[in-house]
Amino acid sequence: MRIHLDENLPVELVEELAALGHDVDHVKSSNMAGYSDRDVWDFAQAERRLLITQDIDFGDVRRIEDAAHFGLVLVRLDQSRRGIIERIREVFAIERTDEWAGCLVVITERKVRVRRTQPR
């Protein structure tokens, strides 16, 4: 899976998710640090990447509803950097992430909620 990490996530996640076989980049490595949410989203879509972010503004499903997209993961964790890395790694190791294109996914400490926002 192709993944784009927002700047509010630890850059160490690139290595962690790559070790699971994913093609991962980070906003910082893409020289997009400080860009608007819209620009980050548009970049991820142009690159055919699932966007992972902690930015709650992306939680407004109206932004992506009924639009073709490669998926959005909203991370809602109240943990340390290490805890965030471990939880995301755990989710990507056990969940069917290959089915997340066209979905809004919310990761919390206890759950992973997947909502399809576009038809298959």
Instruction: Find the angle CA(16)-CA(46)-CA(88) to the nearest 5 degrees.
Output: 20
Query: Could you tell me the pLDDT band of residue 8, with boundaries at 50, 70 and 90?
Result: very high
pLDDT at 37 (0 to 100): 87
Res. 84: pLDDT tops 80: yes
Q: Provide the mean pLDDT of the chain.
A: 91
- What is the mean pLDDT of the segment spanning 101-118? 92
What is the helix, strand, coil percentage profile of the chain, to 5?
35, 20, 45
Which range (11-15, 37-41, 110-114) has the least confidence?
37-41
Q: In the chain, how long is the greatest CA-to-CA distance?
A: 36
Residue 30, SS3 per DSSP: coil
- Which residue, among 22, 19, 20, has the nearest Cα to 5 in the 3D structure? 22
Dihedrals φ, ψ of 52, to 5°?
Answer: -115, 130
What are 45-82's pLDDT values in tens digits?
Answer: 999 999 999 998 876 666 666 578 899 999 999 989 99
Q: Domain boundaries in the chain?
A: 2-116
Given this model, what pLDDT does residue 18 score? 97
User: Is residue 69 a contact partner of residue 4, using CB atoms and an 8 Å limit?
Assistant: no
